[in-house]
Amino acid sequence: MQRPNTNNSTNAEQPIESLFIDECLPSNCVDAVTNLMSYHPTYLDIYRTTQNFILRGDGPLPCDYRHYIAIMAAGRHQCSYLINMQKQEFLMQGGNQLWLKGLDYIPQKLRDLYEINKILAHRPWMLNKSHIEKLTKAQDSWSLAEVIHALVLLAHFHSLASFVFGSGINDEPRYFDNPNLTSGEPVLTLNPPPHSSKQKQDTQKLDNKAFKVESPVAMSPTEPEVGVDTLMERMKSLSERSEEVSAEEYTKRFEHVESQSAELSASISQNTPMIKADLSHFVDDPKFAYVDFAHRGVPTFRVQDYSWDDHGYSLVNGLYSEVGNLLDEKFKTTANLTYNTMGGRRDVDTTVFRRAIWNYCQCMYGIRHDDYDYGEVNQLVERSLKAFIKTACCFPERLTKRNCDKVMREFLHSEKIHVNLMILEARMQAELMYALRAMMHYTT
């Protein structure tokens, strides 16, 4: 299936204020996710369009089901911020308040989805056609279009939880500081969008997108990081390199990065927060979690055999019209997003760094890009950033605001948000690739 041509220049010229108006809640507040994503208005535009479509646009699932599926997905990572936001939306769509008492009170059809929710959130490589078959042949069966819709919602909110924790949003109590709200409505402080003309500060125009003049994030008294200047030298060297690498060597370098990722577990906080009483009823089997490569005993997922571009895109679009187009544009917008800056330096080609972040995220899930040299990951992604990425992808509930502040300390705040966007989208694409491969095996 041919993709339509997408041109982001039109989206980039859309006033950022109009995006904020579209995202306003009934309480006349802009949610914190939108507020942070507004550092990157081109991305915010396609993110907003996609989320609005899967939650409120034409589709096979009723609106109350959509928001409850979002609650179920956010519950796997104990994401209070998203759960409270979606509880509010669920009630606004006429959802049955009894369902908010927990999983024991929802229709069996929704309950049947929970196993896939759990697997997709933590061990997506376990998903197979039998899980799809159970849904489509259950007493209250799911259509294939409904399954696709649900899979997209689950992957969207699992990965959005990574962004929420990775950006420190869930660690901010001011978002939930009104005890009088019984619906879980978040109370948010609306800051002017970083690119708004209302802000009285100088701006530069980079690639036809507004870019806020910032100072680097304050340094923290922790272990030293590789500086931005050194990172830029490495990026330049890799961009100019013309080394020929054999297929066997590519495989060895991928496996080396995999094994290093498993070793990182020792440096990642093992303190999974206790599930709060007001969240526990949305979580079943809370001990089911991510397992490192060395312990899972499954073959690598090779993009050469099943990819989003060649397989997933057309399958989604065939069963849930237009969603494939939106997701494809969102993935490409994120992967290609650049202002050619790093830590305040201008005219920097960040292509190899962005590709290393994306591919390392998907490496967490055993996904290998055959034409990529994973040796670049070890040169460009230092240990502290690897630990942050792994935690954000696999255990986001373990991240705190302090963790977020300790990494990428020479980056601008907008650049740290940019890295979190790449984590969000790379994880979502990884989940969908496993889910859609299972769907393909079921339908063929």
Residues carrying an active site annotation? 79
pLDDT digits over 91-109, tens only? 999 999 999 999 999 999 9
In 3D space, the residue among 233, 183, 236, 191 whose CA is nearest the CA of residue 212 turns out to be 191
Residue 188 is predicted with a pLDDT of 37
Task: Write down the H helix ranges in 345-412.
Answer: 351-363, 375-380, 383-394, 401-405
Instruction: Tally Cβ neighbours within 10 Å of residue 56.
Output: 13
Residue-wise pLDDT tens digits, 293-332: 666 667 789 998 899 998 999 999 999 989 999 999 999 9
Class of residue 86 by CB neighbours under 10 A (exposed 0-12, middle 13-18, buried 19+): buried
163 Cβ partners below 8 Å, 6+ apart?
Answer: 33, 169, 420, 421, 423, 424
Give pLDDT, residue 108: 97
Contacts with 316 (C-beta within 8 Å, 6 or more apart), sequence order = 148, 152, 323, 324, 327, 432, 436
Residue 270: pLDDT band with limits 50, 70, 90? low
pLDDT above 90 as % of the chain: 61
**pLDDT the model gives residue 21:** 44
Q: What's the mean pLDDT when you consider all of the chain?
A: 83
Strands 341-342 and 209-212: unpaired
Contact 213, 344 (CB under 8 A): no
Residue at token pair 């907008």 = 414
- Confidence at residue 266, expressed as pLDDT on a 0 to 100 scale: 63
Using 50, 70 and 90 to split pLDDT, how confident is the model at 372?
very high
pLDDT surpassing 80 at residue 191: no
Q: What is the pLDDT of residues 334-360, one digit of tens each?
A: 999 999 999 989 999 999 999 999 999
pTM of the model: 0.84
**pLDDT at 42 exceeding the cut of 70:** yes
